[in-house]
Chain A
Amino acid sequence: MTHIAIADQEPELHHPRTFIGKYIWSQDHKVIAIQYACTAIFVGLVALMLSVVMRLQLGFPDQFDFINPNMYLQFVTMHGMIMVIYLLTALLLGGFGNYLIPLMVGTRDMVFPYLNMLSFWFYFLSVLVLLASFFVPGGPTGAGWTLYPPQSILEGTPGSGMGIVMMLASLAIFIIAFTMGGLNYVSTILQARTRGMTLMRMPLTIWGIFTATILGLFAFPALLVSAIMMLFDSILGTSFFMPAIVSLGEATDYEGGSPILFQHLFWFFGHPEVYIVALPAFGMVSDVLSVHARKNIFGYRMMVWAIVIIGGLSFVVWAHHMYVSGMNPYFGFFFATTTLIIAVPTAIKVYNWVLTLWQGNIHLTVPMLFAIGFIFTFTHGGLSGLFLGNVVIDLPLSDTFFVVAHFHMVMGVSPIMVLFAAIYHWFPLVTGKQLNTRLGMIHFWGTFIGTYAIYLPMHYIGFLGVPRRYYALGDTSFIPDSAHALNANITIAVIIVALFQLIFIFNLFWTIKREPKSRINPWDAASLEWHTPDVPPHHGNWGRELPTVHRWAYDYSVPGVVKDFIPQHVPDSEVVYEPGYDRFTSGREST
């Protein structure tokens, strides 16, 4: 049930009076969203730079003296962790979640604005702690983003002193930030929807964010627990995860701990994390496709159920990341089966996206291009996942570049394609200006073709058996010269794709500075966020009264209606039909 009294919490709003109150310690969900987005994009660019340096080493070994083996491992680790947690999770949920939830469900702000502000500042602190680890003695951890013990806290691994401690501390702070934000998102969606906004009238973006938030709330504790226990092992000398082990020729004081236990905890978080990133992306791409194809989303209910089912299943597949760690064969069978079952609701979503496009009035705008690009990258990434979900195929491919290519396609490139689609799509709402289309087109084609230039050959060198996380391959008989040549090609493609991202950054500044104001609701979207009295929306979002919702968010190209979309807040009595059209015999009313 929704509560209009909570949604319309005018007395609770704290209108800021000072610059600091408005832009720094802001409690406005829109400002907080922009703070989240700017921080996430900045730290994402740092991670992008790290990947370029890694690729320079892989493509042109021994050519760059400033890259040493320790540094390579540290960059691999920081690139992975930053991209997964501090960019994707933060931008999708902290950025888009914060901006879109209150606007799409028709409320004035999150139900706990102060907690929302704290959430951002804790996130900011976690980023500072993470980046500070670059400057501590020994540098950041180089244990790989999975942080597996025992190597992560043993001497010999780069950053095994302060580096790993700061990484774990940063993760713990991030999880506190996420929990504050997550409680807000869930409570707002459940409690503060405006009049008429039933659960099944919510846009799929909200369904994706809502389900992903619940996944995060239930999965991040596993990472928190493992981080705290590993901090105990690292600082206090306990043996939760540390077995009796000889390090650098000397016996350590550790005894009896189980590194496998850490892996279970980590992946109990780690696999739902894939869907914490993917589900908001699924939701947002559904909305972008529908708006730009001028057609209602195909199979709305099935899309909602698929999101919920994928979310549930994501908690029972985690050990498919651990086939090579060894397990009871029946467990391997179980986890392979659940993993393959997830393909069913996921395939339903892909079919429904394609069927939404089918016979639609497709507008090949920049957001639409990115959304269609996502369908390609996600399908390809998903198909290679079917390979790796099987135990017998995973074992030889494990820890090769095939895995790297797979997860970059499915949870790296794909959500980022959606993020770009979403930024291009909602930018006019956030700033009142439409991003430059010509620059956007260049950005799209460079990114889309470039990602294939990177990851298609990467699958191949993975099949050859080229291992991941190696600083140098050396003279290895099973790796042909062609693989080295491909590695060089991949590196060049990475540099080109990275340069194309500079066009995007330039476009952001150029548009804000030079482009004229766009018209309100330039895409003619039906969902509620585009129908605020002011664009960009002012603090409090709505005027004196909250909107009343009369329909779902996908009334596009409704037969007989003059305009090709009907906004959610327009009642049937105000819909203008073509002269002579009898809507009562058209089938829509009686279906």
Chain B
Amino acid sequence: MRGFSALTEKPWLAMPQGPMQFDPEGGTPSAQIALRFLLMVISIAFILIFVTFLTRSQYPDFQALAGEPWLPFNQSPRLWATTAVLVAASAAMHWAWRSVKTQRPDGVMLGISVGGFLALVFIMAQWTTWNYLVNLGYGVSENPANAYFFLFTGLHALHLFGGVLAVVRVFIRIGRGCSISQVAVAVKACTTYWHYLLALWLLLFFLLTRTPETYAIIAAACGLG
């Protein structure tokens, strides 16, 4: 309702009470606002690919990567392992944020170091998964399902790598003597970003390892069947 009342203000009327008062310390930091918009932008990009994926999954030439014993992700211990790494990375970043709140510099350094390192491990693990698929004959151009797997996971890894660069910047700032309060907003933004990318990965993991029947149900539910 606050937004609605702001948009119905009559600015041409004189305001006898003078200029509005503001709380200089209150509100959300700009970095958080920018991050929310960035996450919306990323979400829109992935949603659009999801839509094309679901549409394409109903074409006759689409061969899902799970559903039969011989398919690469019918059992997917490899992906479960990479998921565990990303969960640990997210937990480490959360630990860093908790350490900010409790004012423990060692915890912050440890948290972001481990979180950043595990993100790199995840990216490496994805790389080995791509090689594994190629070696099995599931190259990027062999089938649309493979192409989408490489596209989704590649874009996800690229976003994670961007996050690692941000973490490195925080690391350098702390190394140059910035206090915890000076990097608090950045650590919180990194933590939010890590959690977001974990959630996105879980969604991708679910989506990319379904059977054709499941795709048919999801597509029908979305009106794309």
Contacts and interface: CB of A to CB of B under 8 A. Distances in A.
A488 B1 CA distance: 59
A238 B55 contact: no
Contacts of A237: 140-141
A13 to B, nearest CB: 15
A304 to B, nearest CB: 7
Contact of B49 (A111, A191, A225, A253): A225
B45 A224 contact: yes
Interface string A246-286: 00000001011110010001001000000000000000000
B144 A256 contact: yes
A191 B27 contact: yes
A238 B20 contact: no
B147 A239 contact: yes
24 contacts: A1-B26, A2-B22, A5-B25, A187-B33, A187-B34, A187-B37, A195-B20, A198-B11, A200-B7, A220-B41, A221-B41, A222-B45, A225-B52, A228-B155, A239-B144, A239-B147, A240-B56, A261-B52, A301-B10, A549-B19, A551-B14, A554-B12, A572-B16, A591-B13
B154 to A, nearest CB: 9
Tell me the interface secondary structure of chain A in the complex.
Answer: helix
A261 B55 contact: yes
Interface in B22-51: 22-28, 30-31, 33-34, 37-38, 40-42, 44-45, 48-49
B135 interface: no
A217 B40 contact: yes
B221 interface: no
Given A221-B48, A228-B155, A190 B55 contact: no
Contacts of B70: none
A474 B76 CA distance: 62
Residues of A in contact with B, size category? 35 or more
A305 B19 CA distance: 24
Contact of A217 (B22, B37, B55): B37
A182 B34 CA distance: 9
A186 B33 contact: yes
B9 interface: yes
A6 B185 CA distance: 14
B18 interface: yes
B61 A183 contact: no
B11 to A, nearest CB: 4
Contacts of B12: 296, 300, 552, 554
Contacts of A199: 6-7, 9
A228 B151 contact: yes
Interface of B: 6-16, 18-20, 22-28, 30-31, 33-34, 37-38, 40-42, 44-45, 48-49, 52, 55-56, 59-62, 140-141, 144, 147, 151, 155
B19 A200 contact: no
Contact of B14 (A179, A188, A224, A588): A588
B89 to A, nearest CB: 24
Contact of A304 (B7, B16, B27, B56): B7
Interface of A: 1-6, 111-112, 179, 182-184, 186-188, 190-192, 195-196, 198-201, 217-218, 220-222, 224-225, 228-229, 232, 236-240, 253, 255-258, 261, 265, 268, 296, 300-301, 304-305, 308, 548-552, 554, 571-572, 588-589, 591
Nearest to B2: A1
Nearest to B19: A196
B138 to A, nearest CB: 13
Contacts of A190: 33
Contacts of A4: 22, 24
A221 B52 contact: no
A198 B20 contact: yes
A187 B27 CA distance: 13
B24 A258 contact: no
Contacts of B144: 238-240, 256-257
